[in-house]
Amino acid sequence: MADPKKLFIKTYGCQMNVYDSERMAEAMGADGYVTTETAEDADMVLLNTCHIREKAGEKLYSDLGRLKKLKAARPDVKIGVAGCVAQAEGAEIMRRMPIVDLVVGPQSYHRLPEMARANTPQVDTDFPLEDKFDLLPERKATRGPMAFLTVQEGCDKFCAFCVVPYTRGAEVSRDPQRILTEARGLVEKGVRDLTLLGQNVNAFHGDGWTLARLIRELAKVDGLERIRYTTSHPNDMDDDLIAAHGDLPKLMPYLHLPVQSGSDRILKAMNRKHTAEAYLRLIERIRAARPDILLSSDFIVGFPGETDQDFEDTLSLIRAVNYGAAYSFKYSARPGTPAAEKPEIDGAVADARLQTLQALITRQQRGLQEAMVGREVGVLYEKAGREAGQMIGKSDHLHAVFVNDPNGRVGEMVRVRILASSSNSLAGARIS
Ligand code: SAH
Ligand code: SF4
Ligand code: F3S
């Protein structure tokens, strides 16, 4: 038998891209490809791209620039571009970078093997009616006890700054029975901690189910010990989902609930369709259901028109919530979005605001992490640490925890007493 062909995939962007890359690797696997860790020894290089900010899109072109040499030395190497830049720019990518052989949008991955077999340039950025996941082969072995499962894609919210509704298309939910089947299959392969993914995961409405109903069904799956979901929109947090945080032990006490800004004026300009006050009231209700829940968020600083006062309002909101983590970004104008029509604020001002905001979040994150010292937590071992006998796992609150445990096994759930907190992780001792 001939040696299998080698596929190198580089993934940029969000967890949905991570999930998609795994599924694409499986689809290509059915066509005789195995994955490899470097582009140099690959027969095919696939860049799974992100379009969310300008820098993300530019990365594709700098990586393609570097791949020119490889293509010159081995013209048979296939170069593919997938993901959100593929969707946004389509054939334009090939005009700019003729080394690219194929461009495939996020809704057309099931066609990837066939496109890779072709001898002519291929572009597919259609939005087919079928669920692409049903057309892909069944999921195979996963890497470790934690896994992602995409349950919905796309977004109908049209925040004024965001490209996702254009690159991923309208909101589409998968069929709940298929999701349950996929989840059971993952558990059989050793998954214990499952994160349900969607651009707007709590807008899930597959076959009329809500996300809360889906989570309640998943909680009945034996062997599945932890359930998480991301990313949620504040306006889609319904009563049942909030209640589930209180009455489902398997639903983990961590919630990523992006607010973007704490200024009502900016929230309105962003088309977020809620106020800062409404967000804070929602957080209160979630904390009433699950008092120890750790919250995280996304923030954009320097949105067009943002004043010092608007930024102060964002800092006040952050102080009121006390976040365990957050992602924050300087506003980046994206072609085709309504906000891109508006004049931008001074870049240096936005940089300074970003630093101030990140310093505040870091203080909060460390404070909440230090509050874990002395507590007993559940830890799921994910991998061996660098030191002999060391295991690394995740707590219920998604903290990375280092444990000295020579007998520990990957995939094991243990009880740990937290002894110390450092900048990005905790250290603890196994107690059972
Ligand atoms: N669906 C999710 C997140 C989508 S993108 C949500 O609704 O929150 C992830 C994050 O990128 C966003 O939450 C936002 O903070 C950031 N982002 C999106 N577009 C951006 C832009 N044009 N400039 C800067 N940050 C942006
Ligand atoms: Fe983008 Fe807003 Fe949709 Fe999130 S909710 S994906 S920020 S448009
Ligand atoms: Fe980026 Fe597309 Fe995800 S733009 S953040 S990869 S949905």
- Residue 337 CA to residue 37 CA, distance in Å, equals 36
Shared domain check, 187 and 93? no
- State which ligand 2 atom lies nearest to the alpha carbon of 233: 5
Shared domain check, 183 and 120? no
Both tokens of 114, joined, read 């066939």
Shared domain check, 223 and 247? yes
Shared domain check, 73 and 186? no
Shared domain check, 236 and 159? yes
- Residue 382 CA to residue 331 CA, distance in Å, equals 35
- Residue 197 CA to residue 84 CA, distance in Å, equals 16
- Residue 354 CA to residue 53 CA, distance in Å, equals 15
Residue 289: in which H helix or E strand, if any?
helix 276-289
Residue range 149-170: mean pLDDT, rounded:
95
Q: What spacing in Å lies between the alpha carbon of 139 and ligand 1's midpoint?
A: 29
Give the pLDDT of residue 414: 98
Question: 164: Cβ below 6 Å to ligand 2?
Answer: yes
Single out the residue in 66, 96, 124 at which a domain terminates. Answer: 124
Q: Could you tell me the pLDDT band of residue 143, with boundaries at 50, 70 and 90?
A: confident
Shared domain check, 245 and 229? yes
Shared domain check, 322 and 275? yes
Q: What spacing in Å lies between the alpha carbon of 160 and ligand 1's midpoint?
A: 10
Single out the residue in 320, 336, 370 at which a domain terminates. Answer: 370
Give the pLDDT of residue 1: 57
Torsion of CA 211, 184, 191, 379, to 10 degrees: 60
Give the pLDDT of residue 134: 72
- CATH number of residue 382's parent domain: 2.40.50.140
Q: For 284, how many CA atoms within 13 A lie in the half-sphere containing its CB?
A: 8
Shared domain check, 387 and 292? no
- 84 is an annotated ligand-binding site residue: yes
Residue range 222-245: mean pLDDT, rounded:
97
- State which ligand 3 atom lies nearest to the alpha carbon of 168: 7
Q: What spacing in Å lies between the alpha carbon of 360 and ligand 1's midpoint?
A: 20
Question: 14: Cβ below 6 Å to ligand 2?
Answer: no
Q: What spacing in Å lies between the alpha carbon of 49 and ligand 3's midpoint?
A: 7
**DSSP at 345:** P
Going 199 to 200 to 203 to 204, the CA torsion angle's sign is positive
Length of the chain: 432
Instruction: Report the b/e string of 308-347 with b at 16+ CB within 10 A.
Output: eebbebbeebbeebebbbbebbebbebeebebeeeeebee
Residue in 51, 153, 168, 256 to alter for ligand 3 test, most ligand atoms within 8 A of Cβ = 51
If you average pLDDT over every residue of the chain, what do you get? 95
Domain interval for residue 317: 132-370
Number of H helices, E strands in the chain: 14, 19
Give the pLDDT of residue 263: 98
Q: Could you tell me the pLDDT band of residue 56, with boundaries at 50, 70 and 90?
A: confident
- Residue 42 CA to residue 188 CA, distance in Å, equals 31
Single out the residue in 68, 96, 124 at which a domain terminates. Answer: 124
- CATH number of residue 69's parent domain: 3.40.50.12160
Written as one letter, the residue type at 2 is A
Question: 155: Cβ below 6 Å to ligand 2?
Answer: yes
Give the pLDDT of residue 142: 65
Residue in 157, 164, 197 to alter for ligand 3 test, most ligand atoms within 8 A of Cβ = 164
Which residues are CB-neighbours of 165 under 8 A, at least 6 positions away?
154, 155, 156, 157, 158
Question: 332: Cβ below 6 Å to ligand 1?
Answer: yes
- Residue 54 CA to residue 355 CA, distance in Å, equals 19
Q: What spacing in Å lies between the alpha carbon of 372 and ligand 1's midpoint?
A: 30
Which of 429, 413, 87 lies closest to 252, judged by CA? Answer: 413
Question: 286: Cβ below 6 Å to ligand 3?
Answer: no
Which of 186, 185, 176, 238 lies closest to 207, judged by CA? Answer: 176
What's the total number of domains in the chain? 3
- CATH number of residue 302's parent domain: 3.80.30.20
Shared domain check, 366 and 381? no
Shared domain check, 94 and 70? yes
Shared domain check, 136 and 120? no
Shared domain check, 120 and 10? yes
